[in-house]
Structures are given as structure tokens and as C-alpha cells.
Amino acid sequence: MNIRFEKAPYTLKVKPEDSKLGFGKYFTDYMFLMNYDPEQGWHDARIVPYGPLSLDPSCTVFHYAQEMFEGLKAYRTADGNIQLFRPMKNIERMNNTNKRMCIPQVDPDDVLEAIKALVKVEKDWVPHSEGTSLYIRPFIFSTDCHLGVHPSKTYLFCIILSPVGSYYANGIAPVKIVVESEYVRAVRGGTGYAKVGGNYAASLIGQEKAEAMGYAQVLWLDGIEHKYIDEVGAMNVFFVIDNEVITPALDAGNILPGVTRDSCITWLKNNGYKVTERKLSIDEVLTAAKEGRLNEAFGSGTAAVISPIGELFDGVEHTIINNGEIGKVAQALYDNITGIQWGRVADTYGWVEPVCSAE
Ligand code: COI
């Protein structure tokens, strides 16, 4: 793919201190753009100065939300390299989402090339401190200008970059989660498995309720019986019951197939843990907790990495998990998955994708 580079005609931004990063607050100097139309397919790949996009108010994305996004990270290793973690898994998921949203397929090799090219240009933005990384946010949206409800014929593909620290303000400290009893995030046949803004828009009301009650996120239950666990706001979820690691199965199509989720399952199975993907009801979890059989719970996600859950509130009872402390399984996953990402643990899975030297 031919990627045009347009140099910024002004002085570049001052980079924030690593200690101030948080999540998704700062953006780098450049972004990647590429257009789609039926005549030319994906075309005009370019890296241009980061800045506002000019869009017609009738642009269909504003009205009918035909869009998708992804999230992955670039890491700076101790031996001076910049690397990605399983980018092809994100790109594969991107095309699965595109299919559901009637967005044209992208060429996986072209997308990987675009991500690498942009990260290479912005390599000085990959932060240095432990626990930090450069978050990569590819997204595609419809750009036709009309009010009819049809798939758009034209699209814009963008990649923006944001240096990040922890997703949660308290880092890897256990989070408090509230079980959502009123709203649902996804239904069978819907878009739950796809990475689309609409899923997150539907979740905001629950998130707002949770935050008002002093909780970090919502535990979503299935949209039919309101009984089975789906996922947490920005993460997949795992429960350790009687030393068996259980996570909701993907087959109902209402759970995001997380890259970190898949990495956790693979690492655990390879390291002798019993891991089961199945339907798991909230009652089973709360009963196990009452009987002292719920060993730990944690979320997984690109942004959140591994996030222990210290408390579950179902609207009646407050269930404290593992004394509100990080459990052994979550700690082992955190150490090993982030170890591979930051180049401290040997990558025996072929998960790391080198980008360039940090020099
Ligand atoms: C991610 O983990 O990359 C996500 O996209 C979750 C969230 C920030 C929406």
C-alpha cells in the first residue's frame, strides 16, 4: 500500500508526563486516514497532522451510527524496541464487525501496515514508565450525506493514537462492580459481539447509574432471561469458583470476543489451570460466594488489561471477593500477559509483532 505522508507545518506538541497520562486524554501529532468509495475501493492512504475532521451535518454516521472501532496497544520494551500485541486478532475482529455493520472489508495486511507506519512515525510518543503504552484506536464510519436508512456507499477509515497509563484511576487495585438489573447491553441477533459505538452508547445509562452509586462499572446480564453473565462495561469477565476459571461462552453472539480474553484462556490452559467457557448465571456466582467457593473474579481487556473485581453489588447484597484483594490467578495473568507485551517474559506464543527500534 502506498501511504502518503503530510508533514505538520507547525511545532509538534509537548508530550505529557507519564504520571499524568490516565486513559485517552492526550493524542499524538499525526493520524492515519483512508477513504472508501465503490469505484476505487479503499484508497488515498495518508498520514496527516492530527486534527478535526470536517463533516456534512447529514453524514449518515450522525443519524444511524454506521461505524465500528478497535483498540490495541504499542509497547516500549526494555531492550529498546516498539512492539504490538496480536494485532491480527484485532484486524480479524474488525472485519467481523464490518460484516455485521455492512461496512466494506479491509485488507488485513494493509491495516497492519497502516498501524505500523503510524506508530513508527509517532514512536517517541510510546511512553516509558511501567504500566504505560500507546493506545491505538482504528475506526471506520459512514460518510454518505442523506437521511435515507441504507448502508453508506462511502467511508472514512481513521487511526488515532493516545499515550495511556491505567484505564482505572487506581491502576491494578480491585474495582467495585454493580450488577445491572434494569437495562441490557446486547440481545441475541444484535451487535453484542461486534465492536461498535452503539453497544457502548446503550451501556452509558447503566454506567452513569453505577458511577452515581460509587461503582467503577456495570456487570451486564443477558438480554433474554436477565440471568446469565455477559461482560463488564469495558472488559470481559472471569470468575474462579472451586479453583476452576470460568468465563461466559461466546456462542450466543452477545459478548465481545476480547483479544485479552483469548490470551488469558490460552495462557491459563498452557499453565495447567482448568478453564471453562460456558453459561454462568449471577445466582451461581453469588451462591458460590456465600458458600466460600468463589476464589476470585477479574476483568480482561486491552484498555483495562487485567482488572481484579473486589466487590459485586446486586442491588441487595454487597459481595466482597477475595477480601477485596487481587487474587493469584489475576496476578499471574497480569504478570505474564503484560510481561510478554513489555518484552519481560519470553513470547512462546508468537503474539508479539515488532514495529521498529525505539531509537
Ligand atoms: C479496549 O479495551 O480497547 C476497549 O475498546 C474498551 C473501551 C475503552 C471501550
Asked whether this chain's domains 4-164 and 175-341 adopt the same fold, the reply is no
Phi and psi (nearest 5°) for 177? -125, 140
For 299-352, the pLDDT digits (tens) are 999 988 999 999 999 999 999 999 999 999 999 999 999 999 999 999 999 999
Q: Which of 220, 226, 227, 188 is nearest to 204 (CA)?
A: 220
**71 C-alpha to ligand 1 centroid (Å):** 6
What is the percent of the chain with per-residue pLDDT over 70, rounded to a whole number?
99
Domain ranges of the chain: 4-164, 175-341
Would you state the pLDDT for residue 276? 98
Q: Which of 240, 242, 284 is nearest to 264 (CA)?
A: 240
Beta-bridged to residue 298, according to DSSP, are 238, 308
Assigned fold of 4-164: D-amino Acid Aminotransferase; Chain A, domain 1 (3.30.470)
**pTM of the complete model:** 0.96
Atom in ligand 1 nearest the alpha carbon of residue 24: 8
Mean pLDDT of 211-218: 94
Mean pLDDT of 221-244: 95
303 Cβ below 6 A of ligand 1: yes
Would you state the pLDDT for residue 25? 96
What is the percent of the chain with per-residue pLDDT over 90, rounded to a whole number?
93
Would you state the pLDDT for residue 58? 98
Would you state the pLDDT for residue 130? 86
Would you state the pLDDT for residue 304? 85
Average confidence score pLDDT of the chain: 96
> For residue 271, what are the CA distances in angstroms to 304, 335, 339?
22, 13, 15
217 Cβ below 6 A of ligand 1: no
Would you state the pLDDT for residue 97? 98
Which protein residue has the closest C-alpha to ligand 1 atom 6? 234
Q: Which three cell numbers stand for residue 179?
A: 450488577
Assigned fold of 175-341: D-amino Acid Aminotransferase; Chain A, domain 2 (3.20.10)
* pLDDT-based confidence at residue 173 (cuts at 50, 70, 90): confident
To test the ligand 1 pocket, which listed residue (260, 263, 302) has its Cβ within 8 A of the most ligand atoms?
Answer: 302
More confident residue, 167 or 355: 355
301 Cβ below 6 A of ligand 1: yes
> For residue 194, what are the CA distances in angstroms to 220, 250, 258, 259, 349?
16, 12, 10, 13, 25
Atom in ligand 1 nearest the alpha carbon of residue 71: 3
pLDDT for residue 273 is more than 80:
yes
pLDDT for residue 206 is more than 80:
yes
